Amino acid sequence: MAVGGRRPLLLLAVALALAAHARAQLSPGFYSASCPTVHGVVRQVMSQAVMNDTRAGAAVLRLFYHDCFVGGCDASVLLDDTPAAPGEKGVGPNAVGSTSVFDLVDTIKAQVEAACPATVSCADILAIAARDSVNLLGGPSWAVPLGRRDALAPSRSAVSTDLPGPEADISALVSAFAAKGLSSRDLAALSGAHTIGRASCGSFRTRVYCDANVSPAFASHQRQSCPASGGDAALAPLDSLTPDEFDNGYYRNLVAGAGLLHSDQELFNNGPVDSVVQLYSANAAAFSSDFAASMIRLGNIGPLTGSTGEVRLNCRKFSSGKNGVVTQRKRKKRFIHERREEKPEGEEEDSATMAAMSASGRVFLLGAVLLVAVSCHGGVAEGLSTRYYAKTCPAVESAVRSVMAQAVAADRRMGASVLRLFFHDCFVNGCDGSVLLDDAPPGFTGEKGAGANAGSARGFEVVDAAKARVEAACRATVSCADVLALAARDAVALLGGPTWAVRLGRKDARTASQAAANANLPGPGSSLPSLLATFAAKGLSARDMTALSGAHTVGRARCATFRGRVNGGDANVNATFAAQLRRLCPAGSGGDGNLAPLDAETPDVFDNGYFRELTKQRGLLHSDQELFAGGGGGGRSSSQDALVRKYAGNAAEFARDFAKAMVKMGNLAPAAGTPVEVRLNCRKPN
């Protein structure tokens, strides 16, 4: 524990040391003798480009951000793909959009080369062009420290991990910037780059249909160009006041609840940078001064200097003839923000992974990406926010956590039980607390007696205890659906799994549907196509399905649910594993209630043991093993197998994907028009 506690401090110290070293290596006068005209050349090309299309300035500024946040300011973002070294352009936030900005950088580079051959790096050209973009659109100027060299390898995998997306909350934004040695004030200032540029409908649809902290008039206006489905590529200005002027209009928008992206409005949402946003909204000079200083700090992230890297002659390809493979591994170790679990050398993202990355909407600052269409009505929760109870019940999370901690300490199985309740609630008409309702004869039959719940659903008394604790603190305020969502998150964390910010603001259904429970909850005998279809019907992808199935890393199942699998019903079962289970669960009848762990490796620890078991054909349920065919099935599940192998070998990636999928599942909502309330007793309507 002590070692783990020192590690973040050590990483921060190294980051600061690297930044100090970068400052010592870079200098505004670096080319004063070797290429004194470089600034004039870059300025001339940028001036013409911005005159022709003001959006060119925003595009170049965005490119500089994307370069520096991924592997440092080394022009790796400019590299084209090669068979040996796939670049960053085709990944996530870089995969969608016009390529004209790269043509513009090529034009600048060509003119600089004509003046000073093989002298000025592409990384420095991009840094100067970003500064000129800001200034030409009415913003500040600053002396750009120069002397960067160009990368010999791209950082493809870091694109999707290091660039915060349009749905990022304030804690994720602060953490992402802190990992680069940038403060929360830097975050607030650099986000002001959104005073210019546009974003696609796909990146802000959820905000204007779902967020509670959005100006109604602003949301209504944006919905005209961004319908609930379709029109993903339609553009809207990030700053609706002065979209093509670099000023402080962006911050005035935030104060008015008119931030276009969810991540924008997070800067002004009762959080740690509210006061800075208010300052910038009223004081344009303070913003300009801070933005210039923060841009210099951004430009100091991980530059290659001295004899490292190279000066490319063509920004799209290496000049040295190296293909990037040899130097990639060595290069990654230079950057503090990449000190995390790396993919094995040579491993590429599979197509399913890349599709999921693109669909996740990881866009950074001036980004725009096409997303899967989303509607907040009839299936996706409207008005959810991680700070929904910030004023009305600030103690809600600690109240639920304390009850869950006691419950899990008394019986570790209870964590799995509460997590299962949340799944079973959300998959039946949305996350509305309907699974918690008792039957009320003669007129009302709830979901507790449905096939998947009868005799196996448990944890209701823990939810009751959590609700009672919350009611004592904040009467008639927090829904049972939200209590269950928080309890599920805490159950995972208390058993060693990830945590995440839970979106809140759900209401409780006044009714339930046993028929829907029987129809919507996949059973233990489900096939892979059936599982995929069931999750797709909820707007969840194959990757979501696989990650969420990892909840079976904790908990038990009854003999009746796996008898057929271990008694000759399945061919893809480990013989030793099946023989062991047959002693507990014999063929024929009897012993239906006997329990076996879903993850025999670490049954009460939330880890990736479940996926390791699947690769050994030791999935307890038929539906579990369907996720991994082991190369069989005529290629039917080759990409599915690859994802299971990935999770089996990379616990961190599973944890990240599970947390994201839990947030998505938690967004499932009752159909529009469903009668709802905040129940005082989770077992019955008010």
Instruction: Flag whether pLDDT at 350 surpasses 50.
Output: no
Fold of 396-519+671-677: Peroxidase; domain 1 (1.10.520)
Instruction: Flag whether pLDDT at 556 surpasses 80.
Output: yes
Q: Name the band, by pLDDT with cuts 50, 70 and 90, for residue 95.
A: low
pLDDT for 511-528, tens place per residue? 999 999 999 999 999 999
Specify the CATH number of the domain 539-666: 1.10.420.10
The DSSP string of 385-416 is BTTTTTTT-TTHHHHHHHHHHHHHHH-THHHH
Q: Does the 162-293 domain belong in CATH 3.50.50.60? A: no
Closest CA to 338 of 635, 71, 109, 90: 71
The DSSP string of 452-463 is TTTTT---HHHH
Instruction: Flag whether pLDDT at 11 surpasses 90.
Output: no
Q: Which of 194, 262, 337, 424 is catalytic?
A: 424
Domain range summary for the chain, segments of one domain joined by +: 2-160+299-331, 162-293, 396-519+671-677, 539-666
599 marked among binding-site residues: yes
Q: Name the band, by pLDDT with cuts 50, 70 and 90, for residue 320.
A: low
pTM given for the model: 0.54
Same topology between domain 2-160+299-331 and domain 396-519+671-677? yes
Q: What confidence score (pLDDT) does residue 265 get?
A: 96
67 marked among binding-site residues: no
Fold of 2-160+299-331: Peroxidase; domain 1 (1.10.520)
pLDDT for 565-617, tens place per residue? 999 889 999 999 999 999 999 998 788 999 999 999 999 999 999 999 999 99
21 an active-site residue? no
Q: What confidence score (pLDDT) does residue 473 get?
A: 95
566 marked among binding-site residues: no
Q: What confidence score (pLDDT) does residue 366 get?
A: 36
Proportion of the chain above pLDDT 90, given as a percent: 69
The DSSP string of 334-367 is T-GGG-SPPPPTT----HHHHHHHHHTT---SS-
81 marked among binding-site residues: no
36 marked among binding-site residues: no
607 marked among binding-site residues: yes
Q: Name the band, by pLDDT with cuts 50, 70 and 90, for residue 96.
A: low
Q: What confidence score (pLDDT) does residue 685 get?
A: 93
392 marked among binding-site residues: no
State the Cα angle at 536 between 91 and 671, rounded to 5°. 120
418 marked among binding-site residues: no
How long is the chain? Answer: 686
Q: How far apart are CA 384 and CA 38, in angstroms?
A: 50
pLDDT for 179-214, tens place per residue? 999 999 999 999 999 999 999 998 898 888 877 788
Instruction: Name the helix (H) or strand (E) containing 508.
Output: strand 508-509
> How high does pLDDT run on average in the chain?
86
Q: What confidence score (pLDDT) does residue 330 get?
A: 37
pLDDT for 614-638, tens place per residue? 999 999 999 999 999 875 444 445 7
First to last CA, the chain: 47
Which is more confident, 374 or 97? 97
Q: How many other C-beta atoms can be found within 10 angstroms of the C-beta atom of residue 14?
A: 14
Q: What confidence score (pLDDT) does residue 354 get?
A: 27
pLDDT for 407-445, tens place per residue? 999 999 999 999 999 999 999 999 999 999 999 988 889
Q: What confidence score (pLDDT) does residue 85 get?
A: 82
641 marked among binding-site residues: no
